Amino acid sequence: MSLEKIKLIAFDLDGTLLDSVPDLFVAVDQSVQALGYPAITEEQVREWVGNGADVLLGRAMSRSLEVSEDLDPELRKKARSLFNDFYASCGHTRSPLYPTVFETLIKLHDAGYKLALVTNKPGVFVPEIMEQHKIDHLFVEVIGGEDFPTRKPDPIALNWLLEKYELSADEMLMVGDSKNDILAAKNANCPSFALTYGYNHGEPISDSKPDFIADELAELLDILSISK
């Protein structure tokens, strides 16, 4: 597959650009323990993350990838309120960009590509994180997990980008680390570029059959024939 027509590149955040689990783990663990649940581990959060904060908290309270149907809805609302406070106060200091991410984003921006962020993470937390890592100015759009009625793998955010920027599906590339990202791209008929190092519930990202697979983001520059 050729990417010669690409004009806009949509990126996932957690597990793609940012290793966010260390801070998410602290906030989720504090939240569930405050409600009387047992402590969880960082490795568990790495397995559970990817479908938004409410699902992550539900998994932590259920101690399973499958959220228990027996969880009290009011208790889940309380967990989310606690999480919002704990995660906001953590400063996001434990969450680094992955290797080659910063340099690659700069080169893509300078090469004239429009960059957009499409994350399932609650949007309220995203601007501060992007500012801390000095990448906020590189993106023309930042779409959080609660900006539309549904999240990835639903293509609603990608379709919105296509419509706003008057692009055909083959002019936008989705870059992500999980099956949600790859399925969203497929559902929007866009090509996909997958990274092997992120959060995909313990499944190989190759199982989702992305158009391209790489071990680091800088490999995208090679595919787009941009000098490193």
Cα separation, 198 vs 193, whole angstroms: 13
Can you tell me the distance from the alpha carbon of 38 to that of 61, in angstroms, rounded to the nearest whole number?
A: 9
Question: Which pLDDT does position 164 carry in this prediction?
Answer: 98
Strands 114-118 and 192-195: unpaired
228 band by pLDDT with thresholds 50, 70 and 90:
confident
Q: What global pTM score does this model have?
A: 0.93
CB atoms within 10 A of CB 222: 11
Q: Give the mean pLDDT of 12-18.
A: 97
Residue 8, beta-bridge partner list: 114, 172
Nearest to 52 by CA among 73, 33, 80: 80
pLDDT at residue 2 tops 90: no
pLDDT tens across 20-74, in order?
999 999 999 999 999 999 999 999 999 999 999 999 999 999 999 999 999 999 9
Q: How confident is the model at residue 227 (pLDDT cuts 50, 70, 90)?
A: confident
Backbone phi, psi, residue 10, to 5°:
-100, 130
* Active-site position among 12, 19, 177, 181: 12
User: Is residue 12 annotated as part of the catalytic site, yes or no?
Assistant: yes
Residue 17 has pLDDT above 80, yes or no: yes
Q: Is the pLDDT of residue 94 over 90?
A: yes
Q: Which one, of 190, 175, 178, lies nearest residue 51 by Cα?
A: 178
Tens digits of residue pLDDT in 107-166: 999 999 999 999 999 999 999 999 999 999 999 999 999 999 999 999 999 999 999 999
Written as six digits, the tokens of 146 are: 């609660």
Closest to 125 in 3D by CA, of 100, 156, 147, 157: 147
**154-174, pLDDT tens digit by residue?**
999 999 999 999 999 999 999
